Amino acid sequence: MRRVLRCLPALLLAGLPCLAHATEWLAPPAMYPPDTWQGRTVAVVRVLDKLDAHVVLLNVPTGQDMPYKSLTLHATSCLQRPATLPADSAAWLDVHDAHEGMAAFQGWMAVAEPATGVFQNPLYDVQLVGCAGDNVAPAPPPLAAVAAPTETAPAVTPDGQPVPPAAGAAPAAPPGAPQPVSPPLPARVPEPADEGAAPLMLH
């Protein structure tokens, strides 16, 4: 056991070159632009009845009217973010209450920003929960595959040694090193000495 422990550091050091050559570059994940939406056929709406505090979820098919008590809900379209973007849904809804004097609602409701479209009156609150059903237009295009970055192998001599840089050439920056934003400042040129000035004496 002691012999194995003594040999363990040497084994680890011997495996370091193999680990260095095992580095693989990974391609970044493909993502849709932030303004991409997927159409769905059903808008899921939550209705709160303020008289009895009852909450119900209604599946409103797009292009159809959905009656609920004195309400009539109509969803023109329901849009959902694709999988690579933060979850969100939006629907264009028309909500009408048959009671006299109740204001109607017509516009967009969004799950991530509920304050953009609100329907509430003394009897009901209506809020969009999400989209469901089949995928319809608009449909996002297929994601384009992103190629993994490649690292250029250093030049070597026939015997496997790295090629030394040419005389006067600047050393190459390591991979991933930040590039300078502006060129380096030139070296300061020494001012010519004044021939008529007396030499500086140090005591």
Q: Render pLDDT for 78-88 as a digit per residue (tens, 0 to 9).
A: 999 998 899 99
Distance (Å, whole) CA 23 – CA 141: 33
Cβ(85)–Cβ(31) below 8 Å = yes
Token output for 29: 């994940």
| Separation CA 10–CA 42 (nearest Å) | 65
d(CA 151, CA 149): 7
3-state secondary structure of 8: helix
**72 pLDDT exceeds 50?**
yes
108 has a pLDDT exceeding 80: yes
pLDDT reported for residue 148: 61
**Whole-Å CA distances, 76 to 4, 117, 140:** 73, 15, 19
Residue recorded with tokens 């505090």? 53
**Residue 22: pLDDT above 60?**
no
Taking alpha carbons only, the member of 31, 29, 27, 30 closest to residue 150 is 27
CA distance 111 to 107: 13
pLDDT higher for 151 or 111?
111
Q: Residue 181 pLDDT more than 60?
A: no
The full length of the chain comes to 203
Q: How far apart are CA 12 and CA 26, in angstroms?
A: 26
Going by pLDDT thresholds of 50, 70 and 90, the confidence category of residue 137 is: very high
- pLDDT of amino acid 29: 73
Q: What is the pLDDT of residue 172?
A: 58
Residues 203, 201: Cα–Cα separation, whole Å: 6
* 157 pLDDT above the threshold of 50: yes
pTM of the model: 0.58
Q: Which one-letter amino acid corresponds to residue 121?
A: N
Question: Which pLDDT value is given to residue 180?
Answer: 45
And the tokens for 127?
């809020």
Residues pairing with 135 in the sheet = 40
Q: Coil, strand, or helix at residue 76? A: strand
